[in-house]
Amino acid sequence: MARVLVVGGGIAGLWTAVRAADAGHEVELVTKTELADGNTRHAQGGIAAALFPDDSAERHFADTIEAGAGLGDPAAVRVLCDEGPARVRDLIRFGVAFDHGDSGLERGLEAAHSRARILHAGGDATGAAIEHALVATVRRRAVRIHEHTMLLDLLVSSDATATTRGARVTGARLLAASGPAFEVAADVVVLATGGAGQLFAHTTNPDVATGDGVAAAWRAGAEVADLEFVQFHPTALAAPGTPLISEAVRGEGAVLRDRDGRRFMSLVDPRAELASRDVVARAVWRRSLEQDGVPVVLDATALGRAFLDRRFPGLGEACRAAGYDWAAEPVPVTPAAHYAMGGVAVDLDGRTTLPGLLAVGETARTGVHGANRLASNSLLEAAVFADRAARAIGADTRADAAGPTAPTAGAGIRRVGEPVAGSGHPTSVVDRETLRALMWEHVGLERSAAGLAAASAVLDTWQAPEPRDRRSAEDRNLLDLARLTVAAAAARTQSVGAHFRADAATDAVRPAAAATQAAHAPHRRHGSPDPVHPIADAEEAA
């Protein structure tokens, strides 16, 4: 059995910890704040899976590939869609109470889905319901939990006597809220620290989303990929904190209007408000610019107060807190950074290019999302690939005992546009708010060579602080990721999905899947998926 260190307390980290503990491994779990305070609990819309008779894994697969602008890895998408229903059944067994109606499980429709397949809990509190159930489940396991503790760096051994495969991760250097930094040794480290929404001045992410795992993995030498693919959600409330207004609201019939009260999305895309997120976000952004910065509005009044209160109680409260009654009036919305499609490059079992290091959830680049994530695939991805990663821990432990095997993760993936360390002449320590404003201005919804060059020049003048506490450690991570993201965005000169180049010759190029999958999909090992069938019984297995 292995000593396993899981870093991150969202759905991906909790799921991995539960499965690894059940397999008999010695598990420690580290989370930067309190165990239930990660990004997962903020997820509103739901979790997508082909569970109903009028749907299929094939339809879900096609929708995911299309939303990803043809750049999704078909092997990874196949795993997601085939194994997803079984993982949703597991969530029910863990105690997640998905919403039911008179005819059984309720399901919603969201943008770019060809079928209503989004399960939700508590109306608009799906993430909170999942987090609550998994926290309770992990606390019933023999898992040692370190709260208010963050990852500083990975420990990497290159001693040939330690492993016949050369360098491998052997643990992590951590920092608690009080006290000096300390080290934890592990046979396997699993990164599940989420994304890096705090790179941008406007984001739907909480303040913990500073990309700690991706930055630490890159510093340790792991491959990263697709960092230029940052998803901007089209409908964050245009109010302090930019709280998210779930895509599910548009799925239920809410519409977008300009300052004159006219719907405009049908002029942009035949799918109107239910076009893919990249399309809707850019349309909202551009219409606001045309209105001299006046936000467009989301009009949900036709849905009625009773329905809104039942289906979206949390969103109604968020609107009231900002001074709006969305049942009586349209509310102003704006795009905001929401999700990272890129991250640490992994294979289908979460293995990175560094032996001993796995990554799951938003930290990982599985290839599922391509250039643009399909709505409500994020929670599903976390569950599916965390489950596979936990199983891979046991397989890798047995393989190490039998003898060396060549790592296969990340074949065909490269660090596109990686900046050269020390290329600039830093004159000051990075200021977080200035960095976030810079990224929003030049690396936001629309990018250009000139803007990216300007951002790179400014980033070159900054140096990272010594990581003495949480704030300084996060600032170091944000600076590393800002430089990597700018370099990756500069290297990809055509527009595709969420990466829009205003100086590209064509608008939002969407290459045909057949022409691009071979070029962009790494070599991966494909295991046998779980069978797909409607939800079975939900007996307690937690």
Active-site positions? 277
Q: How far apart are CA 529 and CA 459, in angstroms?
A: 44
Task: Give 3-state DSSP helix, strand, coil % of the chain, rounded to 5.
Answer: 35, 20, 45
Residues in the chain, overall count: 542
Secondary element (H or E) of residue 454: helix 449-459
Pairwise CA distance, residues 48 & 520, whole Å = 25
How far is 473 from 151, CA to CA, in rounded Å? Answer: 9
Closest CA to 190 of 359, 11, 20, 29: 359
* DSSP secondary structure of 147-191: -SEEEEEEEEE--TTT-TTS-EEEEEEEEESSS--EEEE-SEEEE
Give CA–CA dist 542/538, Å, rounded: 11
378/278 Cα distance (integer angstroms): 16
Could you please report the per-residue DSSP string of 463-474? Answer: EPPP--SHHHHH
Cα atoms in the Cβ-side hemisphere of radius 13 Å centred on 312: 29
- H/E segment holding residue 383: helix 378-402
Residue (of 170, 230, 185, 190) closest to 17 by Cα position: 190
Q: CA-CA distance, 249 to 244, in Å (whole number)?
A: 11
CA nearest to 122, candidates 44, 48, 47: 44
Rounded CA separation 523/348 (Å): 10
Q: What are φ and ψ of residue 69, in 5° steps?
A: 60, 30
CB burial string 114-129: b at 16+ within 10 A, e below: ebebbbbbbbbbbbbb
* 428-429 and 343-345 beta bridge pairing: unpaired
Contact 1, 24 (CB under 8 A): yes
